[in-house]
Amino acid sequence: MQRLYVTAHAWAQDAQPFRLQSQSTPDSNGHDGKSAVWRASFASPAGHGVRPYTWVGTDAVEGFARGVTPGPEDSYSPTNATTQIFDMVYLKVDTDQALKVAQEHGGDKVLEKAADTPVIYILDWSKSPLALVWHVVYGASRDDAKLVVDVNAGSGDFIRVEK
């Protein structure tokens, strides 16, 4: 996240993240709380724009080179519920800790039944509860997930099982 954050600030000094998401790859399935590919989306309230950035730490991803790659800029509306920016100060719990909590709330059973299930991580601001939340997703995407466990990214506390 730090590399993406620094690059986003080169685009816009007031850039703030509103979403961070990992991607499963052939050499990084998320089972250890880590990922070789991260995509973060940032908004610039002053510039009324949003821009995604992708960090790749492996050569196993087609179409992306190692390092940070910016995506296309789009317009930003602060009233859009899907682009609620957050302050990095609220991010105190990393994905390895979030995974541990998710494993205790059903994730271990999912991986016992299907060990090849990828685990991805999505970070965003939630209105209920009002907190920064890690969504630990057991599956290739949130739409077809076998299980989604929400963990408070500030405290590490279990919030709920979505599915």
Report the alpha-carbon distance of residue 151 to residue 135 in Å, rounded.
6
pLDDT tens digit string along 83-140?
A: 999 999 999 999 999 999 999 999 999 999 999 999 999 999 998 889 999 999 999 9
pLDDT at 81 over 90: no
Domain extent, residue 60, equals 2-161
Look at residue 163 in the predicted model and tell me its pLDDT.
62
Q: For 9, which DSSP code? A: H
144 three-class SS? coil
Maximal CA-CA distance, the chain: 48
Whole-prediction pTM: 0.94
Report the alpha-carbon distance of residue 9 to residue 15 in Å, rounded.
6
* 39 contacts 18 by C-beta, under 8 angstroms: no
How many domains are contained in the chain? 1
pLDDT tens digit string along 31-73?
A: 999 999 999 999 999 999 999 999 999 887 777 789 999 999 9
Q: Where are the alpha helices (DSSP H) in 12-160?
A: 95-102, 108-113
Report the alpha-carbon distance of residue 94 to residue 92 in Å, rounded.
7
